[in-house]
Structure 1
Amino acid sequence: MKYILVSGGVISGVGKGVISSSIGAILKCCGIEVTMIKIDPYINLDAGTFSPYEHGEVYVLDDGGEVDLDLGNYERFLNITLHRENNITTGKVYQSVISKERHGDYLGKTVQVVPHITDAIQEWVEKVAQIPVSEGGKTPEVCIIELGGIVGDIESMAFVEAFRQFQFRVKRENFCVAHVSLVPQPKTTGESKTKPTQSSVRELRGLGLSPDIIVCRSERPIAESVKEKISSFCHVAPQQIISVPDLHSVYEVPVFIENHGIADFLCERLHLGVAPLPPRRKYMAEWIELGDRIRHLKYEVIVAIVGKYTRLEDSYTSITKALHHAGNKIGYKVVIKFIEASNLENTMLTDDPASYHTAWRELCLCDCVVVPGGFGKRGVEGKIEAVRWCRLNDKPFLGICLGFQAAVIEFARNELKLTDAHSIEVNEDTKYPVVIDMPEHNTGEMGGTMRLGQRTTVFKTSSNSSKIRKLYGGKEKIEERHRHRYEVNPEYIQNLEKHGLKFVGVDVDQQRMEILELDNHPYFVAVQFHPEYLSRPVNPSPPFIGLILAAKDRLKGYLARGCKLSPREPQSDYYDSEEELHDVNELRVKQLNIGENENDDNSSAYSSSSQF
């Protein structure tokens, strides 16, 4: 087993997750089986109880693990299925060691950070690295480990020490370190500052780990002279220093860093035994084509996300990625407008009329609407108002989790005339509780008690004409990931369906409602599960595909053709011939080539509108 440790310096959020994912994607293109581990040095057992403002979205895995959003990047880039054990936290490690101590496994010895905690970390990594993550059950050959936070954080010291020991445990030829650091470029001088990177590398070396690769993150490309300066102070060869500026899309990063020869270096450094690699444009063709497709999108679609955590875009990372996946596939550049749900509520008309009118104006100008999940009372009424507006104005709508429940509440209030209908999560004393809790998933504890992970949804036999079922290829059942503890009250289902709200998908016991749809609407779909978690760059999630198509009035034709894009669709308008596509790919490789002058006018790969 080979191991690559990715550490970070200067500031957090510098892009370690994308760099780690990109390295994994490159190795996978070389035919190497790769697995990923994310280490989060907080004491929480998992990310399940975090506020999205604290740490971004909570990503859910097939086995129900609530983990850091970086594991979503890993799954999207590598198209693999990870497990809860692939996310290691300080809390998990200490819980494991304390449990062993209580069972007497240490034979009365004093339990200490070194060696007991550090040994537990090393054993965990070795164990998890052997777990298959791809179809076919092959044991991974390379394990990429991302160490959260930055070098020097007191919280991560035990992990750094563990990997200092680990490099000798597995031997040098099986272990290398990639250090991701920020190179600031103050606008006052325009000069690249290397001191922060020098300091972070010095600290890393002082802790016993020497980087084999330094990835310099910056707004603009850094000059060769800057690389040479970093090289001389950090004891790393200039060719092992990679400058990654802000790019147009995160999906350009694998091609960009591979054009620095990282695959050749890793194959040699870790003795991976890969035969001489073909030209990059061949084994990286899928990524080159994806990046080029994104860069040359001609048309736009405006999507409003009506949520309660809109101050931090990372709160809805998987949803925004899923929307981009769908837009890229169909041929539309997705422009996302975040709308604070509470600003749509009538109370804001008197409290803050400017915010109220701005929010409604943005909602009216969008092409389609997504109402995502969330917890708590704040913003729920605004989400319900957004759902009502979409239903009455034939605006394409997709509700997810709480958005699904908001659609049920809105329909009950305005079509069934149950004006006080609500969820007991928001109003425990509501006269018409159309959304209730699931007792077995509401034990009073907050962490890990919801209905989590991959579950089967069965389409009803009466749903053959359903748009959403057709988007899923007419399947009888589908597998999607869940994260909720409230459900539609079965007592109201018959009355809701009688008035036109169709529940076309249910759980395997046909007790819980999973998918709803309106027939007399361009696209009014809501799902209890989270389809965004399984969306991939080359395989977008069907509900998002339907939403974007409906927003551009192309859904009917798409479904009539058996879910196939017409030759007249925008995606075919990029190039007039295969020859032109080949020429563009050749130019793309040339533009991203390591040997090209960073200041050349053709270096259009760089953009200040980064998606890192």
Structure 2
Amino acid sequence: MKYILVTGGVISGVGKGVISSSFGAILKCCGIEVTSIKIDPYINLDAGTFSPYEHGEVYVLDDGGEVDLDLGNYERFLNITLHRENNITTGKIYKHVIDKERHGDYLGKTVQVVPHITDAIQEWVEKVAQKPVSDSGKAPQVCIIELGGIIGDIESMAFVEAFRQFQFRVKRENFCVAHVSLVPQPKTTGEHKTKPTQTSVRELRGLGLSPDIIVCRSEKPIGQSVKEKISNFCHVAPEQIISIPDLKSVYQVPVFMENHGMAEYLSKRLQLGITPLPPIRKYMRPWIDLGDRMTNLKSEITIGIVGKYTRLEDSYTSITKALKHAGNKVGYHVNLMFIEASNLEAVMLRDDPVAYHNAWHNLCICDGVIVPGGFGKRGVEGKIMACQWCRINLKPFLGICLGFQTAVIEYARNVLNLEGAHSTEVCEDTPHPVVIDMPEHNPGQMGGTMRLGKRTTIFKASDNNSRIKLLYGNKEQIDERHRHRYEVNPDYIKRFEEKGLHFVGVDVDQKRMEILELENHPYYVAVQYHPEYLSRPLNPSPPFLGLVLAAKDRLRVYFSRGCKLSPREPQSDYDSDDVGLEELTANKLNITNDHDDNSSAYSSSSFPETG
């Protein structure tokens, strides 16, 4: 087994996750099986109880592991399936060692950071590195390990010491260190400053790890003279210093790195035995095409994300990536409009009228709307109002998790006329609890107690004309990842469906509602699961693909072609023959262009003025 340790310097958030993923992408293009490990030096057992403002989104794996968002990068870039053990935290390591001590495994010895904690880290890495992560079932040949934070953080000292020992445990030819450092360029001088990188590398070397590769992150490319200066002070050859400036797309990074001969260097350094490579445009073709396509999209759409954590875009990383994947597939650049849900609420008209009117204006100009997941009371009423606006105004809509639940609440209030209908998460004494707790997934503590991981959703046999089912390839069942502890109250299902809100997907026991779809609407779909977690750059998630197509009124034509895109996509107009097919498909799916204003599904209720 070969190991690549990726460390960071100067500041966090410089892109270690993308760079680690790019190492893997390059090696996979060369036929090398790759796995990844993310080390987070916090004491939490996992990321499940984090606020999105604290650490970005919580990414969920197939086995229900709630992990750092960088594991999402690994899965998307490498097209692999990781496990909860691929995310190591200080809390996990200490709990593992303390449990062993309580069990008597240390035979009465004093348990210390060295050797017991450091040994536990090394054993964990070796064990996880052997696990297959791809459909081939083959054991990985290279394990890429990203150490969170930066060198010098007191929290990560035990991990740095563990890898200092680990390099001798596995031998030099099997262990490589890549150090990612920021090279700032102050506007006052316009000169790239190397001192922060020099200091960071000096500290890393002082801790017993010498970088083989230095990846310099900067806004603009650094020159050869800067590389030579870093080389002179950091004991690394100039050709082993890579400059990665800000690029238009993260999917350009693997090709950018490989243009520096990364595969050849890693093959020599780690003795991978990669045969002489053909021109880069052959073996890196998928990444070259993907990067070129994503940076040369001419048509645009705007999708609004009505969320609770919009101050930090990392809170919705997987959703934004899934939208980009879908837009790239059909030839549209997706502009994101983040809308704070609480600003849509009527109380804001009094407290902050500017924020209120701006939020509603932004919602109105979007081509499509997503109401994503979240927890707690704040902003729920704003999400409900966004669902109502999309339903009444025939705006393409996708609800996810809490967005699924708020769509149900809105429909209960304004179509079923159930006054006070709500979720017991927000209002425990609601007269109409249309969304209720799942007590078996909430045994009294917060972490890891929800309905988590990959679960099967079955499409109802009676809903053969379902748009979402067609988007999934007309399958009878699908597997998607979940993260929730509330569900639609089954006592109300019949009343919803009698009024036109159809639950077209259910769980294997047919007790829990998984997918809802509104008839007589261009695209009003909501799902209890999180489809964004399984979206891939070359294989976008079907619900997101449907939203993007519907946002440009292309969904019916897509269905008419047997769910195939036109080779001429995107284009401003379709041929007259296509229009005929569109009308034919519209009839098949019971879509009409003339909506009955008196229909209960579109009955209007009190609705805020949006200017």
TM-score by length of 2: 0.93
Structure 1 segment 86-97 matched on structure 2, within 5 A: 86-97=86-97
The one-letter amino acid paired with 1:203 is E
Aligned partner of 1:576 in structure 2 is none
The one-letter amino acid paired with 2:284 is M
Aligned partner of 1:265 in structure 2 is 265
Give 1:419 shift. Answer: 1.9
* Cα displacement string for residues 355-413 of structure 1 (whole angstroms, at most 9, x for unaligned residues): 00000000000000000000000000000000000000000000000000000000000
CA distance in 1, matches of 2:62, 2:42: 23
Structure 1 segment 76-95 matched on structure 2, within 5 A: 76-95=76-95
CA distance in 2, matches of 1:212, 1:252: 23
* Cα displacement string for residues 328-368 of structure 1 (whole angstroms, at most 9, x for unaligned residues): 01000000000000000001011110000000000000000
Q: Do residues 192 (structure 1) and 164 (structure 2) align? A: no
* Cα displacement string for residues 168-200 of structure 1 (whole angstroms, at most 9, x for unaligned residues): 000000000000000000111110000000000
CA distance in 2, matches of 1:572, 1:165: 61
Q: How many residues align?
A: 573
Name the SS for the 1:36 alignment partner: strand
Give 1:567 shift. Answer: 2.7
Name the SS for the 2:197 alignment partner: helix
Aligned partner of 1:600 in structure 2 is none
* Cα displacement string for residues 199-219 of structure 1 (whole angstroms, at most 9, x for unaligned residues): 000000000000000000000
Structure 1 segment 327-338 matched on structure 2, within 5 A: 327-338=327-338
CA distance in 2, matches of 1:73, 1:103: 37
Name the SS for the 1:436 alignment partner: strand
Aligned partner of 2:460 in structure 1 is 460
Aligned partner of 1:406 in structure 2 is 406
Give 1:571 shift. Answer: 8.1
Structure 1 segment 573-592 matched on structure 2, within 5 A: none
Give 1:295 shift. Answer: 1.3
Aligned partner of 2:569 in structure 1 is 569
* Cα displacement string for residues 88-127 of structure 1 (whole angstroms, at most 9, x for unaligned residues): 0000000000000001100000000000000000000000
The percentage of counterpart residues that share the same residue type is 81
CA distance in 1, matches of 2:430, 2:61: 34
Q: CA RMSD in A?
A: 0.9
Aligned partner of 1:507 in structure 2 is 507
* Cα displacement string for residues 561-596 of structure 1 (whole angstroms, at most 9, x for unaligned residues): 1110013321899xxxxxxxxxxxxxxxxxxxxxxx
Aligned partner of 1:389 in structure 2 is 389
Aligned partner of 1:603 in structure 2 is none
CA distance in 1, matches of 2:368, 2:558: 17
Structure 1 segment 309-328 matched on structure 2, within 5 A: 309-328=309-328
The one-letter amino acid paired with 2:78 is L
Structure 1 segment 468-487 matched on structure 2, within 5 A: 468-487=468-487
Name the SS for the 2:517 alignment partner: strand
CA distance in 2, matches of 1:560, 1:473: 13
Give 1:488 shift. Answer: 0.1
Aligned partner of 2:66 in structure 1 is 66
Name the SS for the 1:462 alignment partner: coil
The one-letter amino acid paired with 2:348 is M
Aligned partner of 1:347 in structure 2 is 347
Aligned partner of 1:138 in structure 2 is 138
Aligned partner of 2:377 in structure 1 is 377
Aligned partner of 1:155 in structure 2 is 155
The one-letter amino acid paired with 1:555 is L
The one-letter amino acid paired with 1:213 is I
CA distance in 2, matches of 1:571, 1:310: 32
Name the SS for the 1:217 alignment partner: strand
CA distance in 1, matches of 2:567, 2:26: 31
> 1:40, 1:88 within 8 Å by CA — same for their partners in 2?
yes
CA distance in 1, matches of 2:207, 2:523: 56
Structure 1 segment 107-122 matched on structure 2, within 5 A: 107-122=107-122
Aligned partner of 2:433 in structure 1 is 433
Name the SS for the 2:77 alignment partner: helix
The one-letter amino acid paired with 1:183 is V
> 1:330, 1:571 within 8 Å by CA — same for their partners in 2?
no
The one-letter amino acid paired with 2:91 is G
> 1:329, 1:571 within 8 Å by CA — same for their partners in 2?
no
The one-letter amino acid paired with 2:378 is R
Aligned partner of 2:230 in structure 1 is 230
Q: Gapped runs of 5+ residues in structure 1? A: 574-612
Name the SS for the 2:566 alignment partner: coil
Name the SS for the 1:199 alignment partner: helix
The one-letter amino acid paired with 1:389 is W
Give 1:415 shift. Answer: 0.3
CA distance in 2, matches of 1:338, 1:444: 34
Give 1:560 shift. Answer: 1.5
The one-letter amino acid paired with 1:444 is G
The one-letter amino acid paired with 2:181 is S
Aligned partner of 2:605 in structure 1 is none
> 1:10, 1:182 within 8 Å by CA — same for their partners in 2?
yes
Give 1:46 shift. Answer: 0.1
The one-letter amino acid paired with 1:426 is V
Q: Gapped runs of 5+ residues in structure 2? A: 574-611
**Residues 311 and 229 of structure 1: is their aligned pair in 2 closer, same or farther, counting only changes over 3 Å?**
same
Aligned partner of 2:5 in structure 1 is 5
Name the SS for the 2:38 alignment partner: strand
Aligned partner of 1:358 in structure 2 is 358
CA distance in 2, matches of 1:237, 1:570: 46
* Cα displacement string for residues 211-248 of structure 1 (whole angstroms, at most 9, x for unaligned residues): 00000000000010000000000000000000000000
Aligned partner of 1:553 in structure 2 is 553
> 1:180, 1:216 within 8 Å by CA — same for their partners in 2?
yes
* Cα displacement string for residues 297-356 of structure 1 (whole angstroms, at most 9, x for unaligned residues): 010000000001000000000000000000001000000000000000001011110000
CA distance in 2, matches of 1:129, 1:89: 16
Moved runs in structure 1, 4+ residues, more than 6 A? none
CA distance in 1, matches of 2:355, 2:446: 33
Name the SS for the 2:462 alignment partner: helix
* Cα displacement string for residues 515-566 of structure 1 (whole angstroms, at most 9, x for unaligned residues): 0001100000000000000000000000000000000000001011111001
Name the SS for the 1:53 alignment partner: helix
The one-letter amino acid paired with 2:457 is T
